[in-house]
Amino acid sequence: MNFVLNCIILLIVNYKADLHIHTVLSPCGDLSMSPSEIIKKAVEKNIDIIGITDHNSSLNAEVTHNIGKKNGVYVMLGVEVNTREEVHSICFMPDMTSLNDFQDFLDSKQTFFPNSPDKFGDQFIVDENENIIGEIEHLLINSLDLSINELADRVAQMNGIFIPAHVDRPRYSISSQLGIVPDNLNFNVMELSPFAQNNDFLEKFPWFKNYNYITNSDAHFITDIGKSYNCLQLEHLCFDEIKTALKFAILNFPKL
């Protein structure tokens, strides 16, 4: 019996995961945040799993995934969606077909307000060699014509992962915009910002205490990647196992 238990334990591996990272596609993302540089920094920081979560667009996710595959980094295909309530949520899809379908759905809910790069920042699509191959002309940080419940239900229908983002933040979060967790919200886990240990969020909002949480860097600059991360215990490095393991993540906050 002990031999069997030891074998099972040996099959489980700890993976470091930072699941909230922006590229140069996000107007708030620094120009150093190219897919290749993100992967390079993830390798340097020994981050095994990252999530690409640009605002309302997933167009730099695939190229980052491809670079990550060549360098031993598992890249979750995602997007950070801004809902009608101005609540940010992280959405991950299991594959590129699903992600493309999800992006079509998001585009149908977009407000196409022109971007002003001088005011908001550039929104570049790049290739593996850091060449700019496109630019999104409408501002990506606008809210979509989509409620948080509608978004969560759509992600669930597509077998994705839905995570209310940085719920402790005083802006663009469930706590700041709604003050409560909506009834019947179909989410997998909630995210705390890297500052959660210092802002006494769970003391101020005790009705949030009974949920499972992860934390991520929400990196907009290269140096921020991996400053906050999670340890996930997996038997196999795949989407479905990550989805399950998120409920039992061990959080690692930075020393602020």
State the CATH number of the domain containing residue 122: 3.20.20.140
Q: In this structure, is residue 142 part of a structural domain?
A: yes
Average pLDDT (143-159) is 98
Average per-residue pLDDT in the chain? 94
Q: In this structure, is residue 9 part of a structural domain?
A: no
- pLDDT, residue 56, reads 98
Average pLDDT (69-75) is 98
- pLDDT, residue 1, reads 47
Q: In this structure, is residue 4 part of a structural domain?
A: no
Structural domain including 212 reads 14-252
Average pLDDT (172-192) is 96
pLDDT at 6 over 60: no
Distance CA 181, CA 170 (A): 15
Using a pLDDT cut of 90, give the percent of the chain over it.
88
Contact at 8 Å (CB) between 57 and 136? yes
Tell me how far apart the 2 most distant CA atoms of the chain are, in Å: 65
Q: In this structure, is residue 2 part of a structural domain?
A: no
CA atoms 33, 36, 39, 43: torsion sign: negative
Average pLDDT (219-223) is 97
What band does 256 get if pLDDT is binned at 50, 70 and 90?
low
Sheet holding 13-21, edge to edge: 161-164, 88-93, 74-82, 49-52, 13-21, 229-234, 250-252
pLDDT at 9 over 60: no
The residues near 118 (Cβ < 8 Å, ≥ 6 apart) are: none
- pLDDT, residue 255, reads 78
Q: In this structure, is residue 5 part of a structural domain?
A: no
Average pLDDT (16-26) is 98
Q: How many domains does the chain divide into?
A: 1
Q: In this structure, is residue 8 part of a structural domain?
A: no
